[in-house]
Chain A
């Protein structure tokens, strides 16, 4: 069959809720391609022989092959191809930074826009979740048991890949719901929790046993996992402890870490009308930081009813690390970027004549200083330097600090023979994820510090392969 390729230089745009509407609800921003649009977009793929896109994908999804199936209208077939290499297609299609990975390598991107690989992946996964009742085939058990610590993207990928090979996998999750950062960190409007639940369900159908309320390092140690009969352990425990700036006023009422703010809203559903877990709603909010987490926090604050939300970032837009798409969404929704601004103090209310005044200790403003870009630092980014005497106060009553995290010490401190780097990340052999302790593998933010969902998935995949080799020795 010969079908005419679609030579349009532009991607089919992702249909989205209008900014003025979505800024006030927690429904997903992007609403997804329909079947006709998906086929039309698939027709833009030129099926290059050397498949540069595949090499741009950390889990090497067979992109041209699945797109071919979309062209044919065989959406389930497309899903089967993606799921050969990716355990979480509906998640990846939404949160992967395709613009720096597969799509960055797309030949169509040289003269125009690359093929909308991410949009197509999302379409295929959603189509499968909506239409397919094809029962999952459980592979025959191979008699080996593996423990996976953490049910975030690294852990779920590792568990899925091992389960597909017949390993009996148990995932230990510290929180009450599986999904890790996919449920506590990434907001509903970017990744509906129902999708995460469905992906976890797909893994359970493969035979993966997910145990919640299990804090490895506390409830159980890595040594005890081996005593229980697990032959290998994968640690995907995530990034951990939030960093603070170390400026005065960070303990005032109304100052949150992004982890706390997002966990309250996402995991604990504080955005509901009568939530059981409280969160500050409304008011004027400053989010400090320029990463994806900062964008998520700012857009969450807006949806919680804030009248004004600022992103406060000490460098310029050029250095801002968040995905372009997230920045654009945030700007469209009315979030104001205060670039080259650095906080120096959180200001609080104090009523000297009434120590019992409930407003005492509440945030009243964020004192910042203007910055200018100086010489490049060791990573080549121009270092921001304060402009003397340029302090000013941003009128806010809530401050969310989104400047990164440090690895959690719980597992390291209870596991003999596990080495960590000076920043606290677990040291692994890059090609295998093997740690300094035999039979223990690790990947994701616990190794690298805060990074992306897909890089964690890539690490989970690498480790699953290495665990397979380790156990068949």
Chain B
């Protein structure tokens, strides 16, 4: 069992937790992920590591309540335990040698983008951060980003906070001004990453995206997390769990990834409703 050391709501649907998992904390690097099960007979879900405290032996996760498992996880309190917590899985983000980087985060993806921005900032790189949300109530981690960024652009789709528009608005402005970066790292919903890649493509600036597909074991065994890269005109199959989760955004087949992501949508909605009903009837 893995103890929840702390729990902090970041907005109505996003929660931060620190979990006691010393073996994972010892090794985890930005960009890697863990897989957890809330209780016995629970589902396995992957979550990217948001940070860790090696001395305390804790790993930080930030998750949005989207399905049955995150719903159950969010009902756990500090001091309680979860059944399984395994990692760190996947390949760490490659940040070495980057001096001038643009970090783009969307929604809960900002939770994963933040440790990258922080690591780059601590390594002395110039960090430009662009973070986007649907509206002001969903804003998270603004102060954390401000602390590690040389420049910060906060966007909301409805203009209820920061500038109105999506994350591509400031990006396109920067590109128009002739601004360049060693790399752009985009983490967020697939549709956002797809548009960031399209915006960046004419500039030729390397653009890395972090993929978070459906997976079960996380060690390469099931192949459920496979995605297609288009490399030199040829399709190449990769497994996000062992080859990723970071990929060259220019190669990723986003349309296919978006389609695969919807495979169990109906099931997931029903499963979440079942969990909510269960708690409702229990009062």
Which A residues fall within an 8 A CB radius of B? 174-176, 184, 212-215, 218-220, 238, 240-242, 244, 246, 250-254, 256-257, 259-260, 263-264, 267-269, 274, 276-278, 358, 360-361, 408-410
Contacts and interface: CB of A to CB of B under 8 A. Distances in A.
A410 B91 CA distance: 11
Interface size class for chain B? 35 or more
B228 A251 contact: yes
A418 to B, nearest CB: 17
Given A241-B220, A253-B263, A276 B42 contact: yes
Interface string B211-225: 000001111111110
B148 to A, nearest CB: 27
Interface stretch (B79-87, B107-115, B117-125, B152-160): B79-87
Contacts of B227: 251
Contact of B226 (A251, A254, A409): A251
Contacts of B222: 242, 257, 259-260, 263
A257 B86 contact: no
Contacts of A410: 219-220, 242
A417 to B, nearest CB: 21
Contacts of A257: 222-224
A209 to B, nearest CB: 15
A263 B225 CA distance: 14
A183 to B, nearest CB: 12
Contact of B41 (A184, A219, A269, A408): A269
A176 B262 contact: no
Consensus secondary structure, chain A interface:
loop
Nearest to A257: B223
Contacts of A278: 264, 267-268, 271
Contacts of B256: 251, 361
Residue of A212, A218, A278 with highest tally of chain B CB at under 10 A: A218
B277 to A, nearest CB: 12
A420 to B, nearest CB: 15
A215 B88 CA distance: 9
B128 to A, nearest CB: 32
A238 B218 CA distance: 15
Interface in B31-84: 37, 41-44, 68-69, 83-84
B219 to A, nearest CB: 5
A252 B223 CA distance: 13
A176 B37 CA distance: 9
B223 A242 contact: yes
A277 to B, nearest CB: 5
